[in-house]
Chains A and B, each alone.
Chain A
């Protein structure tokens, strides 16, 4: 899993996979343990494919995950975990506003996603993938991030939120 031996999409897929470990959803959002967690992606590209293959491996996390490819940001409301890839940057704001108020983890590799009110932003700094987390938004939506994750993430503050993209009305 070393950066040098894997391409960026692999890394991003791994990140998306490991967020399942470090993020906790509130209990009522996942009604039943037997109900699978809905992962929604706007792109059926290599990241999603890799994630799917990781999840398919026998050693993978025992949480059942369903992967859905969505096209409309409104569909995101039905998901637990939404990934907005850079190719669908136009949908970013729409997804943020659509998921607002719901315990839906939003992850994107678009720059300024966290500042704009997104939860986790995957950013590329000096050839490495880094995580930016808008903790305020995360906790506002009753999602919990592991301290281990927070330890290596860049925390985006409220001022950043204000100074960035306008938060859509709820």
Chain B
């Protein structure tokens, strides 16, 4: 467009120059024509008069008629004040060239010469074809230039206007064409980045892009609808899973209550002097019941982990205590199979730790239980070592080595899977591995650790797991066991395999002169407790509720209370709180020892019981050895010496 404007301007410039030449040539012709008579008749006055008519042409600066010999015949000079400057220029030496030339010789042809602001025109004066003189004209070009300038400005203004118009049009076009595309693209980007499928393209034009945008909206709506449907389904599934977990939890609790009964009674039966055959039957019932119990607990754990309800405790504990408990737990089993069970703690391993000791114990129990199960001869050894991670964390390595049958390579990867038996042959050859390993793997994973197994078939297996554990913030006490781990292991091993009670046979129990109150809403539990206490020569009174317990304590004398936790109307915790309250009222100096009796095995629960004012803890199913230890602790002064 600017090129067109430039062409127009050049054209206009040339055209106006041509036109000024033409106009002034015409003027020169007319004046020359009119002056012919004056020239030939030598009438200078008349010549001047004719030239003076040029005053009506405001652009003519001056005019001179020359005779054929170049002598000026007559002159005209503009008297306009605006011409003074240019007239000075005309007469100045700068233009003498052309003036001189024409002055000396005249011209026989028309001569046109442009300078920046003056047009010089020389035209022969002819009379019937014969030249009789020359007319020289000088014309002021400034008005012309002014006009051209004005025109140029007008063109530029027009150009600017045109550009503005073009810009506005382009802008409008851009808005109407690329605007919707940009909006569409922005929406797509927004949707894909934020995943918000409720967004829609707002600007819908009436062209193909509009169709694209509305189709895109349709797609978004479909996705959104599908998402909502999926969300609904997911929520339903979550609810279903929760319901399933709740069902499993309830079921396992419900199942555990009668299982505790079975186990308790079986334990009592085993205490009785019976024939070997009967004892073998009882032992089978006991083993089966224990397996079933373990299975139920594992299912409960897995369902808890699956539903995300599996919370980890974060509490201080002493690793030595944990090891002691594990030793106590397994010593009878190890002794039964004549296996050597050793625990060893590497030198310098910190023992005052922070973490979920219950879960740690559970994993070790699973692994050690497994090891004892699949080892017929030899030993099972547990090694614990640790590497410092930072000032507050330690990475532990727990290893359980056995001299058992080992695990084939193709089975190793599968044994940690949920609900997966390696294959039928495994079940046949090794018996069900249960869910212990799957639970263990889940727990270790939850606790940011790793678990694995190495094995040589026929020589044994090495189960290991790593676990990051916090260092206890309590700086009191001993961080590291004073005795060397080896010593302590040896000591413990000796303790385990040493002479002691043989739970598998009826033994004489320590006898106590004492009276105990058993509080449990379950008749079976009451019966088991009463029967078990009888073994220790203890007189037992059983009540079915917390309220009855409070009344019983007011009315009679008791040396110890065994209190169930989960009871209707009044929990064991609440009943204990009331008992302690009444003791405070009478400023009792010898508070009643209250032992919690619960299936709950969580670390937090144990602490909760103690905080509620209970003194110790017995877990269901009742284990006679544990009970013996508790009785020894709390009824020591009632012990009858024989």
Q: Is the CB of B46 within 8 A of A152?
A: yes
Q: Is A14 an interface residue (CB 8 A)?
A: yes
Q: Which of B30-38, B139-147, B212-220 contacts its partner?
A: B30-38
* In the complex, B42 has a CB within 8 A of chain A: yes
B-contacting residues, A4-25, CB 8 Å: 11, 14-15, 18, 21-22
- Contact present for B43 and A62 (CB under 8 Å): no
CA distance A88 to B35 in the complex (A): 33
Most A CB contacts (10 A, CB to CB) among B34, B41, B45 go to B41
- A interface vs B, CB < 8 Å? 1-3, 11, 14-15, 18, 21-22, 59-62, 128-131, 146, 148-149, 151-152
Asked whether A21 lies within 8 Å of B42 as measured between CB atoms, the reply is no
Contact of B43 among A22, A60, A152 (CB under 8 A): A152
- B128 and A152: CB pair below 8 A? no
A150 CB to closest chain B CB (Å) equals 9
Cα–Cα, bound, A60→B128 (Å): 9
In the complex, A71 Cα to B560 Cα: how many Å? 193
CA distance A2 to B68 in the complex (A): 10
Closest A residue to B36 using CB positions: A148
Partner of A152, one of B33, B41, B68, B130: B41
Q: Give the nearest-CB partner of A122 in chain B.
A: B41
Asked if B40 is an interface residue, CB under 8 A from chain A, the answer is: yes
Asked if residues A59 and B41 are in contact (CB atoms below 8 Å), the reply is: no
The complex places the Cα of A2 from the Cα of B133 at a distance, in Å, of 12
Is B71 in contact with chain A by the CB < 8 A criterion?
A: yes
Residues of chain B whose beta carbon lies under 8 Å from any beta carbon of chain A: 33-38, 40-43, 45-46, 49-50, 67-69, 71, 127-128, 130
Q: A61 near B128 (CB under 8 angstroms)?
A: yes
Whether B128 contacts A2 by the Cβ 8 Å rule is no
> What distance in Å separates the Cβ of A126 from its nearest Cβ neighbour in chain B?
11
Interface centre among B34, B42, B128 (most CB of A within 10 A): B42
CA A21 to CA B40, docked complex, whole Å: 10
List residues of chain B with CB within 8 A of the CB of A131: 41
A149 contacts B37, CB within 8 Å?
yes
Provide the residues of chain A in CB contact with B33, threshold 8 Å.
Answer: 148
Chain B residues closer than 8 Å to A149, beta-carbon distance: 37, 41
A2-B67, A61-B128 known; A151 vs B46 contact (CB < 8 Å):
yes
User: What's the Cα separation between A62 and B127 when bound, in Å?
Assistant: 12
Report how many A-B pairs have Cβ atoms within 8 Å. 52
Q: How far is the CA of A3 from the CA of B41 in the complex (A)?
A: 10
CA distance A60 to B43 in the complex (A): 21
Q: Is there contact, CB below 8 Å, between B34 and A148?
A: yes
Which residues of the other chain, A, contact B40 by a CB distance below 8 angstroms?
Answer: 1, 14, 18, 21
A120 to B130, CA, bound (A): 24
CB-CB nearest 7 A-B residue pairs = A152-B46, A148-B37, A152-B43, A18-B40, A149-B37, A59-B130, A152-B38
A146→B33 CA distance, assembly (Å):
11
A152 contact set on B, CB distance < 8 A: 37-38, 41, 43, 45-46
- Closest residue of chain B to A22 (Cβ to Cβ) is B37
Q: Once the chains bind, are A151 and B38 in contact (CB under 8 Å)?
A: yes
Given contacts A1-B67, A2-B67, A62-B128, contact A151 B41 (CB under 8 A): no
Rounded to whole angstroms, the CA-CA distance of A152 and B40 in the bound complex is 11
User: Bound complex: CA of A148 vs CA of B128, how far in Å?
Assistant: 14
Inter-chain contacts of B41 with A (CB < 8 A): 15, 18, 129, 131, 149, 152
Closest to B130 in A: A59
Q: Is the interface of A mostly helix, strand, loop or mixed?
A: mixed
User: Closest residue of chain A to B40, judged by CB?
Assistant: A18
Chain B residues near A11: list those with CB within 8 A: 42
**B42: nearest chain-A partner, CB-CB:** A3
Distance A151 CA – B43 CA, assembled complex (angstroms): 10
Q: Closest chain B residue to A18 by CB distance?
A: B40
**B67: chain A residues within 8 A (beta carbon):** 1-2
Per the bound structure, the CA–CA distance linking A15 and B69 in Å amounts to 19
B-chain residues with CB within 8 Å of residue A3 when the two chains form the complex: 42
* Distance in angstroms between the alpha carbons of A22 and B69 in the assembled complex: 23
User: Which residues of B sit under 8 angstroms from A59, Cβ to Cβ?
Assistant: 130
Complex CA distance for A135 and B45, rounded to whole angstroms: 21
Q: Which residue of A lies closest to B43 (CB)?
A: A152
Q: List 16 A-B contacts (CB under 8 A).
A: A1-B42, A2-B71, A18-B37, A18-B41, A21-B127, A59-B130, A62-B128, A128-B42, A131-B41, A146-B37, A148-B35, A148-B38, A149-B37, A151-B49, A152-B37, A152-B46
Q: Is the CB of B37 within 8 A of A151?
A: yes
Give the complex CA separation of A22 and B33 in angstroms: 12
By a CB distance below 8 angstroms, the chain A residues around B50 are 151
**Is A2 within 8 A of B37, CB to CB?**
no
Once bound together, how far apart are the Cα atoms of A16 and B33, in whole Å? Answer: 19
CA distance A18 to B37 in the complex (A): 8
Chain B residues whose C-beta falls within 8 Å of the C-beta of A22 in the assembled complex: 37
Least Cβ–Cβ distance between A139 and chain B, in angstroms: 18
Q: How far is the CA of A109 from the CA of B594 in the complex (A)?
A: 174
Q: Which residues of A contact B42 (CB under 8 A)?
A: 1-3, 11, 128-129
A62 proximity list for chain B (CB < 8 A) = 128
CA distance A14 to B36 in the complex (A): 13
Task: Pick from B33, B37, B43 the residue with the most CB of A within 10 Å.
Answer: B37
Residue of A nearest to B45 (CB): A152
Chain A residues with CB below 8 A from B49, complex form:
151
The answer to whether A151 and B34 touch across the interface, beta carbons within 8 angstroms, is yes
Please name the residue on chain A nearest to B49 by beta carbon: A151
Chain A residue at smallest Cβ distance from B35:
A148
Shortest A20–chain B CB gap in Å is: 9
Measured CA separation A3–B44 after assembly (Å): 11
Question: B35: which A residues are within 8 A, CB to CB?
Answer: 148
Q: How far is the CA of A128 from the CA of B43 in the complex (A)?
A: 9
Separation of A131 and B68 alpha carbons in the complex (Å): 22
Partner of A21, one of B45, B68, B128: B128
The interface residues of chain B lying within 8 Å CB-to-CB of A130 are 43
A152 CB → nearest B CB, Å: 4
A33 to chain B, nearest CB (A): 15
| Cα A59 to Cα B41 with chains together (Å) | 18
Contacts of A128 in B (CB 8 A): 42-43
Taking CB as reference atom, which chain B residue is nearest A62? B128
A85 to B622, CA, bound (A): 179
Distance, CA A11 to CA B43, complexed state (A): 12
Closest residue on chain B to residue A59 by CB atoms = B130
Name which residue of chain B comes closest to A63, CB basis. B128
In angstroms, Cα B178 to Cα A86, docked, is 102
**How near does chain B come to A66, taking the closest CB pair, in angstroms?**
19
CA distance in complex: A152, B128 (Å) = 19
| Extra contacts besides A18-B37, A62-B128, A129-B42 (10): CB < 8 Å | A2-B71, A18-B40, A18-B41, A21-B127, A61-B128, A128-B42, A148-B33, A148-B37, A151-B37, A151-B50
Question: With the chains together, A2 CA to B65 CA distance in Å?
Answer: 13
Q: Could you say which residues of chain A place their CB within 8 Å of the CB of B45?
A: 152
Bound: A1/B128 CA distance, A = 17
Q: Which residues of B contact A60 (CB under 8 A)?
A: 130
CB contacts (< 8 Å) of B46 on chain A: these are 151-152
B75 to chain A, nearest CB (A): 16
Within the complex, the shortest CB–CB distance from A57 to chain B, in Å, comes to: 10
The smallest C-beta distance from B557 to any residue of chain A, in angstroms, reads 167
